[in-house]
Amino acid sequence: MDGFALRTGLESPGGPSIRYLWTDAFAVCNFLGLYVEEKDPRDLQRALRLIDETHRVLGRHRLDDSRQGWISGLDDAVARQHPTAGGLRIGKPLPERRPDERHDAAGEWDRDGQYFHYLTKWMQALESASRVTKEPDYHRWAVELARTAFARFAVRDSSGSLVGLRWKLSVDLTRPLVPSMGQHDALDGFVTFSRLAGREGIAATSPEFELRREVADLAALCVGRDWTTDDSLGLGGLLCDAYALAKLMDRGVLDEPELLEGLLEASRSGLAALVEGRGLEQAARARLPFRELGLTIGLRALQRLAQRIEGMRSGLEDRGSVRRSIEALARHSWIVTSIESFWQQRENRASPTWTGHREINEVMLATSLAPDGYLETG
């Protein structure tokens, strides 16, 4: 995390600031987790400075864009008070695709815009900051981002019912760049929005922080969906969402035993397929570290989920499939050590798959090694 802070300009106020929303969200949580554990004020300062820098850079149009200023369209003074009102750019190296440009599925990965699932990660980071600092502004910014994202990414039918979420929108949120829905976007939204809506204290029940309608729509969108995936990052996300869902159930915010059961069953079958495919046995050049580290973070969450289930008062003790799924998933706990040790070896970190995505790889390795900031502070 020290190296990340130096390389991306976090330690050089006023200098070049290299921001990428997904990486920055995990980094904020990491710094907060370090602060909670070690009480070093420098870690808290880094977390809060990173939030400000991310808003300053990704809340505004790119330097190579003819449009300037905040992407929300608000003037500077107001935008600083509402930095997430227009969403946040991804931070990709290339500008977004122009309206007159043909869609190129491969090239789209390197183009800017806004992703719904990146925005939910930033909401989590802001909520974590609010809980650690007890400052309501971070919670307010998370809620404002949730409202903006839901309103712009939502796809509704002629009756007004929510039927989907667009995966990628333009920087100004006016047009779809990839209109299809991510497999787990509805789930990410439901869990994250529920976390925000269930916040205790800081006037969480006032209209300013109201998200009940959005949570209800996202809950309906989750019904009957197949969450199964053998993608390592997707599996890790499922397990993290399952743990977050269990915590919300334990607090009485949600009552979703069937959804939790479905997430664990999908994770169970997906992880079995991943292991059977032997992708984790390949050479470093054929593997994507940050995706694998997403899985190890999820398996860290599974360990905590297994402990929490034992004391939950939600009736889950009567659902044998939950226990069986957890036990089956726990048999693959060796994957955590295997992946972490593989990517801590110097020769493997010399691979282009590591060096080409160094910041996201190193930050997510840090999250896997010390997951409290990501899994607990929010």
The mean per-residue pLDDT over the stretch 346-361 comes to 98
pLDDT score for 215:
97
pLDDT score for 207:
76
**In one letter, which amino acid is 229?**
T
For residue 246, pLDDT over 80 is answered with: yes
pLDDT score for 200:
77
pLDDT score for 312:
72
Distances (CA, A) of 281 to 274, 275, 277, 342: 11, 9, 9, 10
Mean model confidence pLDDT for the chain:
94
Question: Beta strand 176-178 with 168-169: parallel, antiparallel or unpaired?
Answer: antiparallel
pLDDT score for 321:
84
How far is residue 15's CA from residue 17's CA, in Å, rounded to a whole number?
A: 6
Task: Summarize pLDDT for 324-349 with one digit per residue, the tens.
Answer: 999 999 999 999 999 999 999 999 99
Task: Summarize pLDDT for 278-297 with one digit per residue, the tens.
Answer: 999 999 999 999 999 999 99
CB neighbours (10 Å) of residue 39?
Answer: 9
Task: Summarize pLDDT for 31-55 with one digit per residue, the tens.
Answer: 999 999 999 999 999 999 999 999 9
For residue 200, which phi and psi values (nearest 5 degrees)? -85, 145
For residue 262, pLDDT over 90 is answered with: yes
Beta bridge partners of 165: 154
Q: How confident is the model at residue 316 (pLDDT cuts 50, 70, 90)?
A: low
For residue 204, pLDDT over 80 is answered with: no
pLDDT score for 378:
80
Give the lowest-confidence range in 10-19, 149-158, 350-359. Answer: 10-19
Task: Summarize pLDDT for 163-197 with one digit per residue, the tens.
Answer: 999 999 999 999 999 999 999 999 999 999 999 99
Q: Give DSSP secondary structure letters for 227-261.
A: -----HHHHHHHHHHHHHHHHHHHTTS---HHHHH
- What is the distance, to the nearest Å, from the Cα of residue 192 to the centroid of all Cα atoms in its chain? 9
For residue 67, pLDDT over 80 is answered with: yes
For residue 146, pLDDT over 60 is answered with: yes
Task: Summarize pLDDT for 70-120 with one digit per residue, the tens.
Answer: 999 999 999 999 999 999 999 999 999 999 999 999 999 999 999 999 999
Question: What residue spans define the domains of the chain?
Answer: 241-378
- What is the distance, to the nearest Å, from the Cα of residue 301 to the centroid of all Cα atoms in its chain? 14
CB neighbours (10 Å) of residue 105?
Answer: 7
